[in-house]
Structure 1
């Protein structure tokens, strides 16, 4: 089936950037003042209770100052409503254990949205560290491998990635504008653009709940209210092709997605950054795609590359295209949506989601799962 692709959106012009744009205008890179770094250190040290589960913490436990929250808000606004990417520099790192730094990341998230579970174990925070996972496998996830990753989006409005340790070799963060990539593709091969607005099958990587299908169906691009949205993860599409009953990709779909991947990695489109300890990257999963280079770890286990990843549903996220419901569940703005509920989503998860939704003024339906 071939359908005409919607026209390119003009509703989010800052989100259509090039690598040169990010290099020239560095307003998306926000450095905390020393007093704000000290404020965050004090707040997490005051809040931390040994052995207390993350889901038991509330936003009120992290008493960041108004100045600190305003600085962080600049990053969230840039990622949500501007370029689609922001980098906060200067989070306290020295003097914090990995567990305390993880908790600090969690505390930041509690002030700006509702965290979403990310995997089969229904974990709300993932440690991004190589534990030997095979990325290209039926249950493969990139965050637990050292492999170079395909360009992809994650399963929430925003993804936060905080850096505790960086690898001595590799592990650079890569990002590209999904809107710029589509505009380039339209210029070069307008005959292929429509294929990216047709539904594709994505594997759930064996992480689905019992009531869910092993696949989800949605296009690479969609549109709502004049805004473009992207959902792309080649690894999940290729794994879905191995499942029974999934239709084979058409020649047009394969050509279109191959060209998209090529454009995303072009030097003029792709921006490369190297996260340093104390950095917090914030990225939109609707208008930006991200990747990572392969890396080699430090021989000292205490210095292994260690980052913390948090998925956030935000109170001011845009309304999503209707077809996004197959992954996100809810698509309206102001709702708790997205995430991978997995196999351990229990009453503790429901209680956290409900309490945090109340704190953020968001709607939460415990019976509505993606």
Structure 2
């Protein structure tokens, strides 16, 4: 039987989890990645309650930046590189594992002000930046990973990116079959990635090695996409705001959890209890691969198949994102940080250099920015946790491999 769309709704007021009790021998900092959760359905609102237009710095157009790279790129200067290098060397000598990096043991007094400003811009502004001049070839993978993760601690908390507990991810073609979308994570292939948002507040990508061809990045303001659809295709936007979309979890589930999550693509922030009249911003959560991969459940009648309206909405959303997107190329030593709240990103298909040249390789971070530290009020039960989101399978230990595995 197809599950009802309003069954088992939570009852307000909600008891948000604080993730207080975790095994210290597995999670040394006492904080566990919360993992994936369905939304709190009674906090979702109908389409007519959504704003007719979004305004502000989160709404941007590609032409605002295409010819003005200085508005979205930052080149590390010699002093900043030296500070990263010295702090990374001290950390390496300390013997602390990579999973133990924090602002407390990775001081960056020279860069801290810049990173504080950047964090605010990622959360509340345009939502993206491209750093250049990170000396990855000089430092090698281990030191680069340490410096990169140390940088990341000033933007958020590391959360696990897969069922193996990777808090340092590696975007690299491992020869897996991209057509097996119900089993394979696309970042482990060379296939095109359609516009999507990762399961964290902020995503970082450090380019360690480039492809021979392709593997280039496109990003788009989901708020600009929202406004465009509101004008051009309000029927599609309405479909995208409805909690009728099932997302695959591809087996990365803890004991007793369902293999899929029913949610929306666009929805509003949760109300602010301290200020009920405060703005509720539009949040986007999307990845078409996770929607298309559910035939094993819909064929058996466990969940409904995509309707004609959903199939059209899926295509219109992708086409609109592509039409409005900003294209960028990551060179070796570039770091791209993006908001997953209001920016969608994609990647072109790519081809690697022949062996023995290194394959295209990006180090990835998923970072959490909880409510208590200025993060968005998300309509999920873990919104107030420090390491909200991510993928956590049972008590899998966080690890930070220095290369893909």
Structure 2 spans left out of the alignment, 5+ residues: 6-44, 270-278, 401-405
Tell me the distance in 1 between the aligned counterparts of 2:60 and 2:224.
Answer: 6
Structure 1 or 2: larger helix share? 1
Pair 1:293 & 2:348 matched = yes
SS at match of 1:94: helix
What value does the CA root-mean-square deviation take over the aligned residues?
2.4
Tell me the distance in 1 between the aligned counterparts of 2:76 and 2:140.
Answer: 20
Q: 1:331 aligns with which of 383, 386, 396?
A: 383
Is contact 2:157-2:386 (8 Å) kept? no
Q: 1:240 aligns with which of 247, 270, 294?
A: 294
Q: Which protein is bigger by CA-based radius of gyration?
A: 2
Deviation sequence 1:45-75 (CA, Å, 0-9, x none) = 22125985322334333232x2222233333
Aligned pairs (5 A) from 1:259-278: 259-266=316-323, 269-278=324-333
Tell me the distance in 1 between the aligned counterparts of 2:191 and 2:335.
Answer: 21
What is the match of residue 256 of structure 2? 211
Q: Under a length normalisation based on structure 2, what TM-score does the superposition of the two structures give?
A: 0.78
Is contact 1:152-1:233 (8 Å) kept? yes
Aligned pairs (5 A) from 1:1-370: 4-8=47-51, 13-25=56-68, 26-49=70-93, 53-64=97-108, 66-137=109-180, 138-199=182-243, 200-224=245-269, 225-243=279-297, 244=300, 245-266=302-323, 269-301=324-356, 303-314=358-369, 315-320=373-378, 322=379, 325=380, 329-332=381-384, 335-342=386-393, 345-346=396-397
Displacement after TM superposition at 1:11 (Å): 6.4
| Segment of structure 1 superposing worse, 119-128 or 21-30 | 21-30
Displacement after TM superposition at 1:238 (Å): 0.9
Q: Under a length normalisation based on structure 1, what TM-score does the superposition of the two structures give?
A: 0.85
Note closer, same or farther for the CA distance 1:118–1:181 as it changes in structure 2 (3 Å cut).
same
Structure with higher RCO (Cα < 8 A, 6+ apart): 2
SS at match of 1:265: helix
Displacement after TM superposition at 1:123 (Å): 1.1
What is the match of residue 363 of structure 1? none
Displacement after TM superposition at 1:336 (Å): 2.8
Q: What number of residue pairs does the alignment pair up?
A: 339
Deviation sequence 1:234-282 (CA, Å, 0-9, x none) = 110111243241112222222222111110111xx11111111221111
Displacement after TM superposition at 1:210 (Å): 1.3
